[in-house]
Amino acid sequence: MTRPIGKTIRVVIVDDHPMLREGTRVCLERAPGIAVVGVTGIGREAIHLVAEHRPDVLLLDLRLPDISGVEVARQVRAAYADTAIVVLTGYGDAGYLRALRPLGIRGYLAKTATDAEIVDAVRRAAAGCTMVTSQSEGEILTEPLTPREREILRRLVAGQRNAEIAAALLISAKTVEYHVSNIFTKLGARSRAEAIRIAHEQGILLLEDAGRNQE
């Protein structure tokens, strides 16, 4: 749906960091023609705010305390397709971003974006254009898991410990630790449990395999 010329762009902001959330709100409210109609740091509340206000743009953080930003995006896209989604990304969000590929996201905005970039991304999204900042989707998605990392991630998901993985793959435990560290960095995980959760939640193994089969 084309937004009428001159219509105020209505925005809902979702970010679990209070200072970033407030800073983004102030930035957008200072911009002519933009109105912030809802602000939250909770994923489920974000879905309610979209249902209540039907904003033109949803500015969405990926890491939220209850449900992931990816799940928020899925539900909003399914029920409120007229709301354009601009995703806020940070280093290590590759797993989440892969899962967003099929959802028609209008913008990928780095957490380090300037006020001008935030305003520009919102305006472009509302106009039906796509905005990608440096250090966001284009760069992060160039780091897929290697075949060895995929294999080790599968074994982590299966519950194997480092020593078991080393014995099964005929490599040293130190080499396993090195690969696990790389997996954590690429997925943005801080622990084995979080890496396993991201793998399940985002279907990373399936996406990696699909990409390999198309090569």
Domains and CATH numbers, the chain: 9-140 (3.40.50.2300), 147-213 (1.10.10.10)
CA Rg value for the chain: 19
User: String of b and e for 93-106 (b: at least 16 CB within 10 Å)?
Assistant: bbbbbbbbeeeebb
Is the pLDDT assigned to residue 109 strictly greater than 60? yes
Q: What angle do CA 28, 71, 74 make, to 5 degrees?
A: 80
Q: Which residue has the tokens 């250090």?
A: 135
Q: Who has greater pLDDT, 140 or 85?
A: 85
The pLDDT of residue 204 is: 59
Q: What distance in Å separates the CA atoms of residue 32 and residue 94, rounded to the nearest whole number?
A: 33
Q: What is the pTM of this model?
A: 0.62
Burial class (CB in 10 A: 0-12, 13-18, 19+), 14: buried
The pLDDT of residue 206 is: 47
* Strands lying side by side in the sheet with 107-110: 34-40, 9-14, 57-61, 84-89, 107-110, 131-132
Q: What distance in Å separates the CA atoms of residue 131 and residue 119, rounded to the nearest whole number?
A: 11
Return the beta strands (E) in the chain as ranges.
9-14, 34-40, 57-61, 84-89, 107-110, 131-132
| DSSP-derived 3-state class of residue 39 | strand
User: String of b and e for 110-136 (b: at least 16 CB within 10 Å)?
Assistant: bbebeeebbbbbbbbbbeeeebbbebb
Is the pLDDT assigned to residue 142 strictly greater than 60? no
What are the pLDDT digits (tens) for 172-202?
Answer: 999 999 999 888 877 767 788 888 877 766 5
Is the pLDDT assigned to residue 2 strictly greater than 60? no
Instruction: Indicate the range of 44-48, 58-62, 143-147, 206-210 predicted with least confidence.
Output: 206-210
| DSSP-derived 3-state class of residue 212 | helix
CB under 8 Å to 139, separation ≥6 — which residues?
none
Q: What distance in Å separates the CA atoms of residue 151 and residue 103, rounded to the nearest whole number?
A: 27
Q: Running DSSP on this structure, what letter comes out for residue 55?
A: -
